[in-house]
Structure 1
Amino acid sequence: MDLQLAGKTALVTGGTKGIGRAIVESLAAEGVRVAFCARTDADVKAAEEALRAAGHEVAGTVLDVTDGPGLAGWVEATAERFGGIDIAVANVSAIVAGQDEESWRKEFEVDLMHTVRLVNAALPHLERSDDGCVVAVSSVSGREVDFFAGSYGGMKAALVHYMAGLAYQKAGKVRANTVSPGNVYFEGGVWQNIERNDPEFFAKALALNPTGRMCTDDEVAYAVMMLASPRASFISGTNLVVDGALTRGVQL
């Protein structure tokens, strides 16, 4: 099936590792021009070189997404370089689950406000696109109380609400959706680290999923790509859960 993505331009925050890297690769494989950012210069350069060597049109930028003016400047530079923006993917997360004020502050700035700032900067360009859309990566921790209740779960829930509101406010102009993965296992990721350093906790978390495994970054990227596709033209304001039936609550 042609996803009608070829020739589009996408922004992806946190695009050098894990879910973000998988999203960049998936979109690029469909012929999308992808601009991605991350904080570490070496990671950005390595990802950019590998993706270009594979024949993809990408642009990597070193950026801390809590830098509002820097984020806005990156969006404008991308629009100028590629002649517009069709897709914006907010992927970066602080992954902090503490109850102290600093944890809440980090989650607020990184997970929620970076998404808000990305959207505000990209909206004028998305509204000029024939298929403008935003996809935010949330988590099942925003849908139910689990191991990561607190600052992480609270901000992930806020993302779902924000995207639903944006979808309503911009209906007919820009689509907005959320993808909520369950536990995602990938090389160098949080769950691999937990497996190595706290195998008892890892086993407890793994046992909760009826599939007997955790999600992969490619499986999350597929969900993001499908929602970004113009074929999903009437899907807006939804929260797509990608968790292998981990969560058992019914979305009404």
Structure 2
Amino acid sequence: MDLGLSGRKVIVSGGSRGIGRAIVECFLVEGATVAFCARGEEGVRSAEQALGDKAFGSAVDVADPAAVKDWIEACAERMGGVDIVVPNVSALAVGGELETWRKAFDIDLLGTVSMVGAALPYLKRSDAASVVLISSVSGRESDMFGEPYGALKAALIHYGKTLSNRHAADRIRVNTVSPGNVYFSDGVWGQIEREQPETFATCLATNPFGRMARPDEIAKAVVFIASPASSFTTGADMLVDGGLTRGVQF
């Protein structure tokens, strides 16, 4: 199936590693041009070199709204517009301290809001405008990562649904993808495997497929729902969890 992404202009935050990197790679395979960011300059340059000349990266702190706005405007100018936006950065914040909540709020929620807000003028000019927010199964049910990570991920699902209604008349589709447990060696589950092997084994056993997802499995879902091939899908929250959650979505 042709996803209709050739020549499309895509912006992805948190694109130097893990799920974000896989999302960038999948868009590139489909012929898109991709601007991505991450906080660390070294990681950005390393990823940029590996990804080729249709991807370009910037070091951006998504908790800084002014920096995000400047980055989006620079990307739009360089690419000649914006068709698709994927805010992917998360603080992965766990713990009840107020400072942890503030960090999660600034990065997971406000980082997404500032990125989408800065991109809206360009999305309104696109004939295939799409936003895909990255939530989590933790935003749908209580788990070991429930506070504040889960609360902010739940807020993203609500935000995405609200945006989808508000901008349907602008022909901007807005959807959310909620991954289950995703394993890569330098990610949170790789760290838990090394530092808390018993916890890792317990969590692994809850996955009906007997394994965790690969980043590319999440990325392919993101790229499909973002693409013109999914042109009548908006306001949806797509679970990509290998059957991990047991609730029925109404």
TM-score range, shorter chain: over 0.9
What is the aligned counterpart of 1:211 among 209, 212, 222? Answer: 209
> 1:93 Cα shift?
0.2
Which of 70, 73, 96 is the equivalent residue of 2:70? Answer: 73
Question: 1:99-138 residue pairs with structure 2 within 5 A?
Answer: 99-138=96-135
Q: How many residues align?
A: 249
SS at match of 1:240: strand
Q: Where do 1:11-22 residues align within 5 Å?
A: 11-22=11-22
- Deviation digits for residues 169-196 of structure 1, max 9, x if unmatched? 0014200010000010012110011001
* Equivalent residue for 1:97, pick from 65, 86, 94: 94
Partner of 2:147: 150
The aligned counterpart of 2:179 is 181
How far 1:231 sits from its partner (Å)? 1.2
How big is the alpha-carbon RMSD for the aligned residues of Structure 1 and Structure 2? 0.7
Q: Does 1:229 find its partner at 2:223?
A: no
Report SS of the residue matched to 2:165.
helix
User: Whole-Å Cα distance in 2 between the matches of residues 151 and 240 of structure 1?
Assistant: 21
Equivalent AA in structure 2 for residue 176 of structure 1? V
Q: TM-score, normalised by structure 1?
A: 0.98
Runs of 4+ with deviation above 3 angstroms: none
Counterpart of 1:203 in structure 2: which amino acid? A
For each residue in 1:98-145, what CA deviation from the matched residue of structure 2 results, as whole angstroms up to 9, or x when unmatched? 111111101100000010001100001001000101001110000000
CA distance in 1, matches of 2:28, 2:235: 25
- Matched AA of 2:43: D
**Partners of 1:179 and 1:99 in 2: CA distance:** 26
1:57 corresponds to 2:34: no
* 1:96 positional shift: 0.8
Q: Give the distance between the partners of 2:7 and 2:99, measured in 1 at CA.
A: 42
Residue 149 of structure 1: CA displacement? 1.1
SS in 1 for 2:124: helix
1:207-230 Cα offsets, whole Å, 9 max, x none, are: 111110001100010010001110
Distance across 2 between alignment mates of 1:117 and 1:70: 10
TM-score by length of 2: 0.98
